[in-house]
Structure 1
């Protein structure tokens, strides 16, 4: 597969209200890196706690041929990461991709 672009892929993650607080954002970043495979072409992960309890904002920087391919990769990576007990009850919202070049002015 020819990889021709870099995409910023974002989603909002929602978890169960059982603990009263979000998991540590750095721990979620580590889990995503731990579940990434070479074919994901993952360059960067950022997780930020939302103002809303049990919600995390996720941003990935991926190399992919198309925006749709970047979204599929992000969905697969998150699905693998939810195998971890720390994220097993977490769900993602819609993943949206934007070419990194669109953010440069």
Structure 2
């Protein structure tokens, strides 16, 4: 898993379940990767810009409607079914590995 900064986020209107599509910057070595996450219970797209998140980047790409997802954003499932993103508590370099 690596950490990256969300540089673009918008509602994924084509998704069957409410979701947000994102572009996440994982640094110079890995670049910007696309993803989608069902995190609309706790997040709006505009509040995600600049937020760092932990994501799995070595899964195969997956077609989600018109979006080719290149990474899996991680989070914690809450009792109400919503998801809270897994984020570092301090800013770290994009592309840093989770130890």
Task: Tell me whether the two structures share a fold, i.e. TM-score over 0.5.
Answer: no
Name the structure where helix makes up a greater proportion of residues. 1
- Computing the radius of gyration from Cα coordinates, the structure with the larger value is 1
More RCO (CA 8 Å, sep 6+): 1
Q: Normalised by the size of structure 1, how large is the TM-score?
A: 0.28
Q: Normalised by the size of structure 2, how large is the TM-score?
A: 0.29
